[in-house]
Amino acid sequence: MDIEQLQDRLSAALLQLRLDQLHEVCVYEKLSVEGQSKRHSLIRLISEAVENVIDTEDEDVARQHVKDLLEFSSGITQRSDRTIHDGGGDADRNSAELAHLKKQYAELQHHFELSTNVLKSEIQRLSLKVPDVPSSPVFSQHQHAVPEVTIRRRTERGHSASSMTLTTHTTSSLWPEHQSELLCDSIKQLEAREAAKQKESHLQLIRSISANQLSTKHNAQLLNLIGEKCMVNCFFDGVPTQALWDTGSQVCLMNEKWRKEHLPHTRLRSLEEILGPGSLTGRAVNQTVIPFESWVEVTFKLGTDKATPLELEVPVLVCGDDGVAEEPIIGYNVIEYLLNSGVE
């Protein structure tokens, strides 16, 4: 069997494996799987390793390596099938144990309901026995004392402890349950105000992401040209396109699904051509990791007129992940060049 046939069988075997089984194959191949959490990423990693062996080793050595890897991958699938088959004989015993556990759970739930009812009755009995507050000079002097209740809770964003001080006035006309209601209402109001502050802070952060990547002298031109974030009409390789101009993005981006639909003639190129060996990832404003797999070169023109004299050959990073928007993104590198060229 030649090496290409072995590769085809290996690819078919890898497609049958689960994520944890693909991890086993990567360990067998001595590949680093740090940050890899998807099946297609692991399959691509293994395939690239096999291609590297084929390109660098003798044909016999490469064939034996692929054959050993195929046997290991097939062995994982066979072991999994045997485990499922062997476990079928225990179905009756597992069913009996499950029925026993269900019975125990029902008994515990019944005891819990009884205990809850007893506790409620005791609370109601004690509430009826609360005596009226005596009318005395000593009480009159202290009835308007202001006890402070400090509540510590963890904030949602910073995960650091914050303190809130609530003040309640103790009077002889309030029952304990009324005091509890007032306290709960105060807590809800403070939490609502805290949430509103956090939301406003988040909105201010988003608004602040504007033309800060550009030189100061171009800020006014930039705002006149595109304002904040907006959609513009342009051409990609002569194809009319609506793109998102985002000054917060350092480079131009494109979704792989959009490329296949609108620019199927473009050729995907390896990132090693421009960056050398290694991987490239980006981060969105919300810190979502965006992996880039390749890039394409397109001819870019601004506007709706194909006769526009100014055109640029632009490298556009391509990502197959859903973290990139449907529309292409034009980054500040192109915007800066257009501003320097006198586009207004």
SS3 of 162-183: the string is EEEEEECCCCCCCCHHHHHHHH
Distance from CA of residue 81 to its chain's centroid?
Answer: 34
Residue linked to tokens 């609502």: 192
Q: Give the dihedral of Cα atoms 216, 220, 221, 226; nearest 10 deg.
A: 110
pLDDT of res. 207: 57
pLDDT bin (cut points 50, 70, 90) of residue 150 is: very low
pLDDT of res. 167: 42
pLDDT of res. 33: 81
**pTM greater than the 0.85 cutoff:** no
Q: What are phi and psi of 195, to 5 degrees?
A: -65, -40
Q: Which residue has the higher pLDDT, 22 or 201?
A: 22
With residue 334 as reference, give the H or E element that holds it. Answer: helix 332-340
Enter the DSSP assignment of 211: S
Residue linked to tokens 């940050």: 35
Out of 60-69, 235-244, 281-290, the most confident range is 235-244
Cβ count within 10 A of residue 17: 21
- What is the mean pLDDT of the segment spanning 29-57? 86
pLDDT of res. 31: 85
With residue 141 as reference, give the H or E element that holds it. Answer: helix 137-142
Cα(15)–Cα(121) distance, rounded to whole angstroms? 61
What 3-state DSSP class applies to 204? helix
* Window from 30-34, 66-70, 139-143, 279-283 with minimum mean pLDDT: 139-143
Q: What are phi and psi of 281, to 5 degrees?
A: -130, 150
pLDDT of res. 152: 46
Cα(64)–Cα(46) distance, rounded to whole angstroms? 16
Whether 213 has a pLDDT exceeding 80, the answer reads no
Q: What is the mean pLDDT of the chain?
A: 76
Enter the DSSP assignment of 101: H
Residues found in the chain: 344
pLDDT bin (cut points 50, 70, 90) of residue 140 is: very low
pLDDT of res. 288: 74
pLDDT of res. 263: 93
Q: What is the DSSP string of 4-66?
A: HHHHHHHHHHHHT--HHHHHHHHHHTT---TT--SHHHHHHHHHHHHHHHHHHS-HHHHHHHH
Asked whether the beta carbons of 314 and 297 are under 8 A apart, the reply is: yes
Q: Which residue has the higher pLDDT, 117 or 145?
A: 117
Q: Which residue has the higher pLDDT, 273 or 201?
A: 273
pLDDT of res. 282: 77
Q: Which residue has the higher pLDDT, 336 or 79?
A: 336
pLDDT bin (cut points 50, 70, 90) of residue 163 is: very low
Cα(259)–Cα(320) distance, rounded to whole angstroms? 10
Whether 42 has a pLDDT exceeding 80, the answer reads yes
Enter the DSSP assignment of 158: T
Q: What percent of the chain has pLDDT over 90?
A: 11
- What is the mean pLDDT of the segment spanning 216-225? 57
pLDDT bin (cut points 50, 70, 90) of residue 35 is: confident
Q: What are phi and psi of 236, to 5 degrees?
A: -115, 110
Going through the chain in order, the beta strands assigned E by DSSP cover 148-154, 161-167, 230-236, 239-245, 253-255, 269-270, 280-283, 289-292, 294-302, 312-319, 329-330
Whether 119 has a pLDDT exceeding 80, the answer reads yes
Cα(66)–Cα(70) distance, rounded to whole angstroms? 6
* Window from 157-161, 213-217, 294-298 with minimum mean pLDDT: 157-161
- What is the mean pLDDT of the segment spanning 147-169? 43
Tokens found for residue 207: 């608004």
Closest CA to 301 of 232, 236, 230: 236
Q: What is the pLDDT of residues 73-116, one digit of tens each?
A: 888 877 776 665 555 556 667 788 888 888 888 888 888 988 88
pLDDT bin (cut points 50, 70, 90) of residue 166 is: very low
Q: What is the pLDDT of residues 224-282, one digit of tens each?
A: 554 456 789 999 999 999 998 888 788 899 989 999 999 999 999 988 888 888 778 77
Asked whether the beta carbons of 151 and 126 are under 8 A apart, the reply is: no
